[in-house]
A and B are shown apart, each in its own frame.
Chain A
Amino acid sequence: MSRNGNILSVKDLRTYFETEDGTVKAVDGITFDLERGETLGIVGESGSGKSVTNLSIIRLIPEPPGKIVSGEILFDGEDIRSIPIEDLRRIRGKRIAMIFQDPMTSLNPFMRISKQLMEITELHLGYTKEQAYEHAIKMLDIVGIPDARSRVDSYPHEFSGGMRQRVMIAMALSCEPELLIADEPTTALDVTIQAQILELIKKLKQETGTSVILITHDLGVVAGMTDRIIVMYAGKIFEQARTRELFSAPGNPYTKGLLRSVPDPTSEQGALYQIPGLPPDVAHLPPGCPFSPRCERAEEICRQEFPPFVQINAEHHSLCHFAEEVYAKSLAEREARERQKLTIQQ
């Protein structure tokens, strides 16, 4: 694999769960690439399949009831699905690292922070105890824990939520992973702490060149952090584009609705746009487009036929019967906005 190629390449991934309610197609045929050094945002509401995608990539799907039924997950050219579990353990935590939402449940409450950090480098890098201990202190220092040397032997409960998330990041970055998957890394945190953590991930990314997948429901977070975005709904990729393009000219009615339903603190607005209805019940999806019951553009065809994944331009795809039309409208709206801005300036 070339240095500048894709670190990750997911092809037609399907992860299903067997439940009493029938088969839940949590992730149903998604395909995407992640370039080296790139930050990819995966956005979606609950039940969209964003977290299952993440767990599938590192094969942490509880089986049963879950199962990756098909697809290819190429990490640096190697298919994660066919790697023996022993070899996979050497990749997890070393070359692919994860940060989860809840830092309290992801740390062992009975183990000192030092021990938890040392385990990783002892296991993956063959460090001696002394080396690992020094490295643990260095990592805590890097993630901004003040007075790291005297706090390294603390237990998790002695740290605040923000500090625990820093410890998680320190653990994740201990072996300088090539891929960092952050699943809602700031959702449990206060906004000033969220700002600290996001700045930290940005800074560390610049220094190490790690590729990042950032999974979140918060459009504000992905706006400032990512190069490209995937929008998921009901286990499918609904839209995929460069971040700026996605925000300024969405080509899918769901993305458009989602963007309009977030209050923008920088502008005055009247009633907030609301997407009608409820997020889908993935066990009982309607025929046709899963978003059609809530979509304002939906027509008869949407309720009957599954929509095509339309390529709008080189890097922009949308799952919609009317992708081109929605995109054209977004472009027109963007132009109107820009004209308005110009006239205000003049």
Chain B
Amino acid sequence: MSQEPTTIQHSQGMPPPIERGKGSELLAIRDLKVHFDLGGGGLLDKLISGNSVRRVVKAVDGVTIDIYPGETLGLVGESGCGKSTLGRAVLRLTEPTGGQVLFRGEDLANLSQKEMREHRKHLQMIFQDPYASLNPRMTVGQIIGEPVETFGIAAGRERDRRVQELMETVGLNKRFIKRYPHEFSGGQRQRIGIARALAVNPDFIVADEPISALDVSIQAQIMNLMEKLQRENNLTYLFISHDLRAIRHVSDRVAVMYLGKLVEVADAKVIYDEPLMPYTKALISAVPVPDPEIEATRQRIVLEGDVPSPINPPQGCRFHTRCPYAIQACKEVVPPLAEIKPNHFAACIRISPEQPDIDEVAPGDAPGLRDAQRVIAT
């Protein structure tokens, strides 16, 4: 086995890094891990390929964050960063391999399947693909009505009335209640998916790339609908997307994910205007702006190479292989998600609260490392 790098992480029992001091979070994610063991590393593998490292995909690797009632937390990252797995693990659609998900103080990860099912009333999901996530053999009425009945909210005629009400809420003509999913366009299907999620009056919805499969003009409709429903029903969203423009628009706070870890968390406006962590800087500078005047003068940070494989990801800071600011220490130390500015967290040892701007930090210096070591020392 290879040597584990020095890891500075918030062990359980310590105060979580992201808290607004209100203690009013709806959902608290604590050191959540989802590892997929691909096997390997046995004697046979060693004999055949000379490789004795067990292959583990660390899709989500120690994520800690709070989500507050009524807010939209945007989760953004590139493909393979683990954002969808995180969303699914929160609802236990994928079983976490470590950590906790506290919903109103209760650990969802400890619930039995039966107890969890009861909780699904409060926790719902909207899926990316409005084609694959609706049963083609069920009518719209059946699709939306099923959760209404399963959770004992209404039955019979009362159920149909509830379904019609939901269809109107999401902007579908209630005359279509007997139609099948294939008779609808992508945008309309996404509305069906939203109605189904709303059917049980949830408090919290994970929306996994809800607009990615839709046309531009339809994306705006769905984003507006989700915002309207949030206001009317006091919903809390975890909005997962790779589309930084959409994330900026719908989110109150944004969390940036890279290879299984959160690397920066801040208010949506702050993270776009003053990103701190080099990866976030590059990500935001890469977004094309629909304005030729701005595009003409814009300086883009173009990253070298691709996202490394999440199978046995890079040691130390996982971004160091592509980071223009990386120094030797970045290869060795896993940076903690630290509060660099008030309510602005970033995982980078080359910055610190005293020196938040990485471009001002002296070459080779890692002020965040000193802080991290102080944390360990105390």
At the interface, yes or no: B223 with Cβ under 8 Å from chain A? yes
- Scan residues 253-280 of chain A and give those whose CB is less than 8 A from a CB of chain B: 257-259, 261-266, 268-269, 271-276, 278-279
CA distance A225 to B224 in the complex (A): 29
Inside 8 A of B303's CB, which chain A residues have their CB? 192, 195-196
CA A217 to CA B307, docked complex, whole Å? 25
Question: Any chain B CB within 8 A of the CB of A180?
Answer: no
Please tell me which one of the listed residues B187, B219, B220, B298 contacts residue A224 in the complex, with CB atoms under 8 A apart.
Answer: B298
B296 contact from A194, A224, A263, Cβ within 8 A: A224
In the bound complex, residues from chain B placing their C-beta under 8 Å from that of A274 are: 217, 220-221, 224
Q: Is B177 positioned at the interface, with any CB of A under 8 Å from its CB?
A: no
Residue A191 interfacial (CB < 8 Å): yes
- Once bound together, how far apart are the Cα atoms of A341 and B282, in whole Å? 28
> Is there contact, CB below 8 Å, between A219 and B216?
yes
A-chain residues with CB within 8 Å of residue B218 when the two chains form the complex:
278-279
Complex: how many Å from CA A217 to CA B215? 8
Residue in A191, A223, A275 whose beta carbon sits within 8 Å of that of B295 in the complex: A223
Q: Which of A46, A196, A223, A268 contacts B288 (CB 8 A)?
A: A223
A193 near B224 with CB under 8 A, answer no
**Contact call B244/A247, Cβ cutoff below 8 A:** no
When A220-B287, A265-B245 are in contact, do A257 and B217 touch as well, CB less than 8 Å? yes
The answer to the question of A199 belonging to the interface, with a C-beta cut-off of 8 Å to chain B, is yes
**B159: interface (CB < 8 Å):** no
Q: Is the CB of A193 within 8 A of B306?
A: yes
Are the C-beta atoms of A192 and B296 separated by less than 8 Å? no
Within 8 A of B (CB), among A146-200: 146, 160-163, 190-196, 198-199
Which of B78, B286, B290, B298 contacts A264, CB < 8 Å? B290
Q: How far is the CA of A196 from the CA of B78 in the complex (A)?
A: 14
A217 to chain B: closest residue by CB: B216
The distance in angstroms between the C-alpha atoms of A273 and B217, with both chains bound, is 9
What string of 1s and 0s marks CB contacts (under 8 Å) between A213-239 and chain B? 000011111011000000000000000
Whether A220 pairs with B283 at a CB distance below 8 angstroms is no
Interface size class of A (residues with CB under 8 A): 35 or more
A298 to chain B, nearest CB (A): 16
When the two chains form the complex, which single residue of A247, A257, A266, A271 contacts B224, counting CB atoms closer than 8 Å? A271
Whether A218 and B288, one on each chain, are in contact in the complex, defined by CB atoms closer than 8 angstroms, is: yes
Any chain A CB within 8 A of the CB of B272?
Answer: yes
CA of A266 to CA of B215, assembled, Å: 22
Query: Across the interface, do B269 and A268 meet the contact criterion of CB distance under 8 Å?
Result: yes
| CB atoms of A269 and B249 under 8 A apart | yes
Residues of B within 8 A of A199 (CB): 300, 302
A241–B33 Cα distance when bound, in Å, is: 51
Which of A146, A244, A268 contacts B293, CB < 8 Å? A244
A265 to B245, CA, bound (A): 5
A121 at the B interface (CB under 8 A): no
Q: Please tell me if A45 contacts chain B, counting CB pairs below 8 Å.
A: yes
A252 at interface, CB cutoff 8 A: no
A265→B244 contact, CB < 8 A? yes
Q: Does chain A have a CB within 8 A of B289?
A: yes
Residues in A whose Cβ lies below 8 Å from that of B249: 263, 265, 269, 272
* CB interface residues, B 137-154, toward A, < 8 Å: none
A275-330 contacts to B, CB under 8 A, are 275-276, 278-279
Instruction: Given A196-B303, A247-B290, A278-B185, answer yes or no on A191-B244 (Cβ-Cβ < 8 Å).
Output: yes
| In-complex Cβ contact of B78 among A190, A217, A224 (8 A) | A190
**Are A261's CB and B283's CB within 8 A?**
no
Q: How far is the CA of A274 from the CA of B187 in the complex (A)?
A: 13
Residue pair A262, B302 in contact (C-beta under 8 Å): no
Cα separation A266 to B287 with both chains bound (whole Å): 10
B245 near A262 with CB under 8 A, answer yes
**Which residues on the A side are within 8 Å of B79 (C-beta)?**
161, 190
The answer to whether residues A264 and B282 also contact, given A146-B305, A190-B307, A258-B217 and a CB cut-off of 8 A, is no
Nearest residue (CB) in B for A160 is B306
B306 to chain A: closest residue by CB? A160
Are A243 and B292 neighbours in the complex by a CB distance under 8 Å?
yes
0/1 string, A42-61, CB within 8 A of B gives 1: 00011000000000000000
Within the assembled complex, what's the spacing in Å between the Cα atoms of A210 and B287? Answer: 25
- When C-beta atoms are compared, the residue in chain B nearest to A195 turns out to be B286
Q: If A261-B220, A272-B249, A278-B185 touch, does A220 touch B289 (CB 8 Å cutoff)?
A: yes
Q: How far is the CA of A268 from the CA of B185 in the complex (A)?
A: 31
State whether A220 touches B245 (Cβ < 8 A). Answer: yes
Distance between B288 CB and nearest chain A CB, rounded to angstroms: 3
| Chain B positions within 8 Å of A196 at CB level | 302-303
Chain B min CB distance to A121 (Å): 27
Q: Are A224 and B286 in contact (CB under 8 A)?
A: no
Measured between alpha carbons, how far is A268 from B273 in the docked complex, in Å? 11
B242 within 8 A of A: yes
Enumerate chain A residues within 8 angstroms of B294, measured Cβ to Cβ.
223, 266
Minimum CB distance partner of A265 in chain B: B248
- Asked whether any CB of chain A lies closer than 8 Å to the CB of B291, the reply is yes
Q: Would you list which residues of chain B between 250 and 303 have a CB under 8 Å from chain A?
A: 269, 272, 282-296, 298, 300, 302-303
- Chain A residues whose C-beta falls within 8 Å of the C-beta of B283 in the assembled complex: 191-192
Q: Complex formed: what's the CA distance from A120 to B272 in Å?
A: 44
Within 8 A of A (CB), among B214-246: 215-221, 223-224, 227, 242, 244-246
Give the interface centre of A217, A258, A266, A268 by most chain B CB atoms within 10 Å: A266
B58 to chain A, nearest CB (A): 19
- Residues of chain A with a CB closer than 8 A to B296's CB: 224
Instruction: With A192-B78, A196-B303 as known contacts, state yes or no: A223 contacts B290, CB within 8 Å.
Output: yes
Given A191-B244, A219-B216, A258-B216, A266 and B291 contact (CB-CB distance below 8 Å): yes
- With most chain B CB atoms within 10 A of its CB, the pick from A161, A162, A217, A262 is A262
Q: Which residues of A contact B298 (CB under 8 A)?
A: 224
Cβ-defined contact, A219 with B290, below 8 A:
yes
- Which residue of A has the minimal Cβ distance to B322? A192
- Say whether B188 faces chain A, with CB atoms less than 8 Å apart: yes
Contact B289 A266 (CB under 8 A): yes
A268: B residues at CB distance < 8 A:
269
How far is A78 from B54 in the complex, measured between Cα atoms in Å?
Answer: 61
Nearest-Cβ distance from residue B6 to partner chain A, whole angstroms: 28
Known: A46-B215, A191-B286, A224-B288. 8 other contacts (CB 8 A): A191-B78, A192-B286, A195-B286, A217-B216, A244-B293, A266-B289, A273-B220, A275-B220
Q: List 17 A-B contacts (CB under 8 A).
A: A45-B216, A191-B286, A191-B287, A218-B216, A220-B287, A220-B289, A221-B288, A223-B289, A223-B290, A261-B217, A264-B290, A265-B249, A265-B287, A273-B220, A274-B220, A275-B221, A276-B221
